Chain A
Amino acid sequence: MQNSVLEVAGAEKAFGSTTVLSGVDLAVENGEFISLLGPSGCGKTTLLRIVAGLLSADRGTVKLSGADITGLPTHMRGVGVVFQNYALFPHLTVAQNVAFGLKAQQISAGDIRATVAKYLDLVQLTSMADRPIRGLSGGQQQRVAVARALAVSPKLLLLDEPFSALDRKLRELMQIELKRILREVGITTVLVTHDQEEALVMSDRIAVMNKGAIEQFAAPGLIYQKPASRFVLDFVGHSTRIAGTTAKTTDGLLAIETAFGTLHAQSGYIPGSPVTVAIRPERISMSMAQETPPSVNVLSARLTDIIFQGSKYHLLFENQGDSHLLVEAGRIPEGMAVGANVHLHWSLEDTLVFPGAQE
């Protein structure tokens, strides 16, 4: 791609005999906000450190605005980093922390002061300028770290789990706040996180990582609605899963035999393959009526439990004992109670099929 700010190609890294990255490709467009989402230990920080030049990859290249920076030392890259623990300099004040990178350049004292003031204002810490780092709250420390990284005008900003040190309420506030700041600056950003909600809320695109490889790189909506692999399905959001075996394909519609009867999907498998059918629980509709709704996939099951979740309900269904199906609904349809026989239906587009019958 022509206007990629960051381009990682074939990045591999092993520590001793453990492979941490096995061929990562990643291209981030100018001004884009992307997330590297994956469970802890999947290699997110390692990839970030390779991009920042704090670690060298065993194989692969890193390009910044088209220029190959694979061998360039960290301080010549122009890549800003907000570290997981913020790594603020404890012997300096808030303003001195923000000025730190500017002092390494040939900039006049007046310009430094003006730039520091500008970024302190951006993160709304002007009144804290002369405070020592100790005694700042987690949220304030995070904003100092962001201001310090932005002050040197990097081409790319890397954030390593910047919210993990904050409690839940503050985390949600800071996510919105940080998004505002970064949009104002217009900087290309890579966020590392293991928190799917954080990634869904903040990103233009999400790269879902598993065991040192990117399984899917797409917009949040696509990641959620069309997960590319079983891993992405399980890692992002809930799903209702039904094990089955494929049968014939007619008119592009694949028939799948399950304990709940025959289901259909737009997918290609040879007959006799074990598969898992998955549906996002809020995409399933429920009705008490006998007449068949216009949806393609219908099954009937007995309601066994209703779990109130505040803003929504989780309903559990079963059919002939073992399989539990999860349905999410904003409200309970009239007349529906535990023990009732309910028709569940959903559309073809919402029917996801993955190889392997394990639930």
Chain B
Amino acid sequence: MTATERIWTFVTCLVATLVVVFLATPLVVTILTSFGSSSLFTLPPPSWSVRWYQRLTSVRGLGSTLLVSVEIAALSTFSSIVIGGLASIALVRGRFPGRTAIGTFLTSPLMLPGLVIGIALLQAFRFAGLRDVWTSLLLAHMIVTLPYAVRTIYSSLLLFDFTLVEAARTLGCSPMQAYIRVLIPALAPAFITSGIFAFLASMDNYAVSIFFTDAWTKTLPIMMLNLAEEQPDPTIAAISSLLIGLVLIFLIICDRAIGLRRIVDQH
């Protein structure tokens, strides 16, 4: 290694470390605070305790809110994968004008500010006479999660060899059976990855949800904001820490899935 190379390696490592510290500090602070005994956000805490986690059981409506969030996230993720999967097949296999435009349009919610989508949907739902909070939330979250499904499944489909489906048909499978027995297993990593991202995007969404919640039906991020306004104590830090844990578990699964696919693709 020459001296210049050594300096560059050092600079790269330094920058990388700083970025990691910058990204990780808030998470570490949150977790530390959640295990502190003080009701103020002091660091280091005077002593360690799990009282904020015990307090979670007495937070009114936490259970039902969590349920709403998980329901909405799970349902919107599932329908996004189904709709996004079918749309991707059409985009990859179809020969119709405007395919690229439709593909871009389906992924565009990723690039639009959530507030814009929220306001637009609010007006559209009003116009359509849709008043039910839960249904509005679900539809809105489907629009938020769809791009994740389309993006990942579409790029996997581009690599998929459709001769495999034809081979299955010559072996006695109807077109539907052929897709189920050949395409679905081949796309499994894409389903897992996009599913995890879509689920987290829904769980985490604030900007769009805010337009569709009321006092009885709300999602977790909305409730946490309410809590922070009403009683700013480390209870939200405890909820946040649990969410961080959840995300970590998901990320590990995701890494396994993507990692597996990398190994597969290299062959």
B243 interface contact, C-beta 8 A = no
B122-130, B171-179, B190-198: which one contacts chain A?
A: B171-179
- Please give the number of chain B residues whose Cβ is less than 8 angstroms from any Cβ of chain A in the complex: 21
A134 interface contact, C-beta 8 A = yes
Residues in B178-224 with C-beta less than 8 Å from chain A: 178, 181-182, 185-186
Which residues of chain B have C-beta atoms less than 8 A from A54's C-beta?
166, 169-170
> In the bound complex, do residue B170 and residue A81 qualify as a contact, i.e. CB atoms below 8 Å apart?
yes
B66 interface contact, C-beta 8 A = no
Which residues of chain B have C-beta atoms less than 8 A from A105's C-beta?
172
Which residues of chain B have C-beta atoms less than 8 A from A289's C-beta?
none
Closest Cβ neighbor of B165 among chain A residues? A87
Central interface residue in A90, A105, A135, A149, by most chain B CB within 10 Å = A90
Pair count A-B, CB < 8 A? 65
Tell me the minimal C-beta distance from B257 to chain A in angstroms. Answer: 14
Tell me the minimal C-beta distance from A162 to chain B in angstroms. Answer: 13
Tell me the minimal C-beta distance from A214 to chain B in angstroms. Answer: 23
Central interface residue in B170, B172, B173, B185, by most chain A CB within 10 Å = B170
Which residues of chain B have C-beta atoms less than 8 A from A77's C-beta?
170
Cα of A118 to Cα of B112 in the assembled complex, Å: 59
> In the bound complex, do residue B170 and residue A73 qualify as a contact, i.e. CB atoms below 8 Å apart?
no
Which residues of chain B have C-beta atoms less than 8 A from A53's C-beta?
169
A91 interface contact, C-beta 8 A = yes
Residues in A93-114 with C-beta less than 8 Å from chain B: 100-101, 104-105
Cα of A80 to Cα of B172 in the assembled complex, Å: 9
> In the bound complex, do residue A80 and residue B177 qualify as a contact, i.e. CB atoms below 8 Å apart?
no
> In the bound complex, do residue B170 and residue A85 qualify as a contact, i.e. CB atoms below 8 Å apart?
no
> In the bound complex, do residue B174 and residue A87 qualify as a contact, i.e. CB atoms below 8 Å apart?
no
Which residues of chain B have C-beta atoms less than 8 A from A89's C-beta?
164, 167-168, 182
A90-B186, A91-B186, A134-B267 are known contacts. Are A104 and B172 too (CB-CB below 8 A)?
yes
> In the bound complex, do residue A74 and residue B170 qualify as a contact, i.e. CB atoms below 8 Å apart?
yes
Chain B residues within 8 Å of A, Cβ to Cβ: 161, 163-164, 166-175, 177-178, 181-182, 185-186, 264, 267
Which residues of chain A have C-beta atoms less than 8 A from B182's C-beta?
89
Closest Cβ neighbor of A78 among chain B residues? B172
Which residues of chain A have C-beta atoms less than 8 A from B168's C-beta?
89, 100
22 A-B contacts (beta carbon < 8 Å): A52-B170, A54-B166, A54-B169, A74-B169, A75-B170, A75-B172, A77-B170, A85-B163, A89-B182, A90-B186, A100-B168, A100-B171, A101-B171, A101-B172, A104-B171, A104-B172, A104-B177, A105-B172, A148-B171, A149-B170, A149-B171, A152-B172
- The 3 nearest A-B residue pairs measured at CB: A101-B171, A87-B167, A104-B172
Tell me the minimal C-beta distance from A191 to chain B in angstroms. Answer: 16
Which residues of chain B have C-beta atoms less than 8 A from A100's C-beta?
168, 171, 181
Cα of A101 to Cα of B174 in the assembled complex, Å: 11
- Proximity bits, A263-283, B CB within 8 Å = 1, else 0: 000000000000000000000
A104-B177, A134-B267 are known contacts. Are A87 and B164 too (CB-CB below 8 A)?
yes
Which residues of chain A have C-beta atoms less than 8 A from B264's C-beta?
90
Cα of A91 to Cα of B171 in the assembled complex, Å: 17
A34 interface contact, C-beta 8 A = no
Cα of A75 to Cα of B186 in the assembled complex, Å: 21
> In the bound complex, do residue B169 and residue A75 qualify as a contact, i.e. CB atoms below 8 Å apart?
yes
Tell me the minimal C-beta distance from A358 to chain B in angstroms. Answer: 40
Cα of A91 to Cα of B170 in the assembled complex, Å: 18
Closest Cβ neighbor of A148 among chain B residues? B171
Which residues of chain B have C-beta atoms less than 8 A from A74's C-beta?
166, 169-170
A89-B182, A104-B177, A134-B267 are known contacts. Are A83 and B172 too (CB-CB below 8 A)?
no
Tell me the minimal C-beta distance from A64 to chain B in angstroms. Answer: 13
> In the bound complex, do residue B166 and residue A91 qualify as a contact, i.e. CB atoms below 8 Å apart?
no
